[in-house]
A = this chain, B = another copy of it.
Amino acid sequence: MGVRIQEAAFDPGAELNAFSELSEGAGAVVTFTGLVRSDPGDPVSALMLECYPELALNQIGAIVAEARVRFGLLDETVIHRYGTLQPGEPIVQVMTLAPHREAAFAGAEFLMDYLKTDAPFWKKEATAQGKRWVEHRDADDKAKDRWR
């Protein structure tokens, strides 16, 4: 189990390889990598990610512990960056290891849905029209609610 909140860039592939070292009984690894998205019709030149690290560790630690029990995961890692990022850069990576694919997929989706609404990060986009805070999406609340 691992939770990392960091300003430094990370290497998605190196993280995947380090995570999926031989583990008895494991058959499935699911990796979600979130990238700074720039809409071609409304380009973003940079993304500023603000964070409350102590709360992030508590919140994500609790979500990860719940995911492990609920889906019978063998291992899981969450990496979340803060600071200023460029379009295309990885922001977040969630990895789950399980005996079978159903649990690995469900665990990764559950973790991502909770990170969107419960992890104390705030995104601000720099665009040609200036800077703007990203609005919280109702769709993210709905995505989280399906796990109740």
Contact = CB atoms under 8 A, between A and B. Distances in A.
Interface stretch (A12-20, A48-56, A59-67, A77-85): A12-20
Nearest to A25: B40
Contacts of A87: 22
Interface string A21-50: 011111111111111111110000000000
A16 B15 CA distance: 10
Given A15-B13, A105-B105, A105-B108, A31 B30 contact: yes
Contact of A28 (B12, B25, B32, B40): B32
Sorting the interface of chain A by its residue count into under 10, 10 to 19, 20 to 34 or 35 or more gives 35 or more
6 contacts: A12-B13, A20-B33, A24-B38, A26-B88, A27-B37, A101-B112
Contact of A17 (B13, B26, B39, B104): B13
Interface of A: 11-17, 20, 22-40, 87-88, 90, 99, 101-102, 104-105, 108-109, 112, 143
Contacts of A24: 38, 40
A20 B31 contact: no
Nearest to A13: B13
A33 B16 contact: yes
A11 B17 contact: yes
Contacts of A90: 20
Nearest to A18: B13
A89 to B, nearest CB: 9
